[in-house]
Amino acid sequence: MKVGMVYDPIYLKHDTGEHVENPGRLSAIISRLEKGGLRQRLEQLEPRAAIGGELALVHQWQYINYIREMAGKGGGWLDADTVMSVDSYKAAAFAGGGVITAAEAVMAGQLASAFALVRPPGHHATAKRAMGFCLFNNIAVGARHARKRLGVESIAIIDFDVHHGNGTQEAFYNDRSVLYISTHQAPHYPGTGDIQETGSRLAEGTTLNIPLPAGSGDTEYLRVFKEIVMPATRRFEPQLILVSAGYDGHWADTMSMMQLSVEGYAQMMVFIRELADELCGGRLVLGLEGGYDLPALAASVEATFSVLLGESPGADPLGKPGRRYGVPDIEDLIRVVKKLHRLG
């Protein structure tokens, strides 16, 4: 079973200074993969930059040119959360291109699955706006490329980042060929992702939001996967599954108030891989989104790769939550989502 890893040092050149989304995130991941001997067992994929026309499958040309021009001027703050440097346009183009590279390899049958370890992240970026640390929407660019250039007729995007992927939802809100499923903390940034946001009239039901209360952990997430994510994906019958893989719901990550563990993330990936094997010949592509506690991020990515390789990730190196927020009640949430999306 061949599993691919997309990575390039260009991603480290997106210089954000002391920002929480910084090059140290990828350095921590790569270091752990190398020390554990896992990187050497993965197929190494060299990404290319997404060209303007590929980025324009999702983003407006005026916005693409704006990001290019900002980089040419040395970068700067795009909003209160999002900063770029002189190399950020190139890194962001390679981030979108990294997901494209992974999708091309998987669809060509060269690999069973692939994980694009890219930055800047992407799922908050809209057609005309950078936000939430994101410049270009990497997963959306990869999905559009797969639809337009690789002949994929139906795609499911599963987004388990702790923040709602407003940019990805917006990109496919009117597109019945793409199922977008998001599990996220609510209320939380960016304030979107309500249960009632289900897609436009022409694409009703192809957006599925699961806004979880603070304090949700392995038990709540895995129940949601079993009762909502898996049956909804099975009903849609995608030919390719893409994952916005954000690890900021880990209990050690201060960017959220969630209680997920490394073991919990691994089990979610077991479910996603099961769906890919069952529905689309194992075709599965992941793109890195959030995750800001470095030990938790690196261990969770390592566990993800172990699952993709068909192996047990072993003992959770960080253990169970070290902070508590009470036991959330998600009964009503599950009932309402099931009823709204006719999931039984």
The predicted structure's pLDDT at residue 162: 98
Q: What is the DSSP letter of 260?
A: B
Cβ neighbours of residue 310 under 8 Å, at least 6 residues apart?
Answer: 1
Q: What is the pLDDT of residues 188-207, one digit of tens each?
A: 999 999 999 999 999 999 99
Sign of CA dihedral 272, 275, 277, 282: negative
* Residue 254 zone, left/alpha/beta (φ > 0; ψ -120 to 50; rest): alpha
Contact between 232 and 208 under an 8 Å Cβ cutoff? The reply is yes
The predicted structure's pLDDT at residue 167: 98
Pairing of β 3-6 and β 207-212 = unpaired
Q: What is the pLDDT of residues 3-27, one digit of tens each?
A: 999 999 999 999 999 999 999 999 9
Q: What is the pLDDT of residues 220-237, one digit of tens each?
A: 999 999 999 999 999 999
Q: What percent of the chain has pLDDT over 70?
A: 99
Residue 101 C-beta-side C-alpha neighbours within 13 Å: 25
Q: What is the pLDDT of residues 75-133, one digit of tens each?
A: 999 999 999 999 999 999 999 999 999 999 999 999 999 999 999 999 999 999 999 99
For the chain, what are the domain ranges? 3-340
Radius of gyration of the chain measured on its C-alpha atoms: 18
Closest CA to 307 of 97, 42, 106: 42
The number of residues in the chain equals 344
Give ∠ CA 219-160-3 in degrees, rounded to 5.
105
Closest CA to 158 of 308, 289, 30: 289
Burial of 83 (0-12, 13-18, 19+ CB in 10 A): buried
* pLDDT of residue 324 exceeding 70: no
Average pLDDT of 33-61?
97
The predicted structure's pLDDT at residue 344: 82
Domain over 3-340 is classified CATH 3.40.800.20: yes
Distance (Å) of CA 172 to CA 106, 129, 166, 242: 22, 16, 10, 13
Residues 315, 317: Cα–Cα separation, whole Å: 6
The predicted structure's pLDDT at residue 327: 81
Give ∠ CA 259-331-223 in degrees, rounded to 5.
50
Distance (Å) of CA 25 to CA 10, 49, 291, 319: 14, 21, 8, 20
Residues 119, 136: Cα–Cα separation, whole Å: 10
- DSSP 3-state of 85: strand
Average pLDDT of 316-343?
91
The predicted structure's pLDDT at residue 323: 61
The predicted structure's pLDDT at residue 325: 72
Least confident of 4-13, 18-27, 308-317, 325-334: 325-334
* Choice among 124, 163, 164, 341 that is catalytic: 124
Active site residue 164: no
Distance (Å) of CA 242 to CA 33, 44, 127, 223, 318: 22, 19, 19, 21, 27
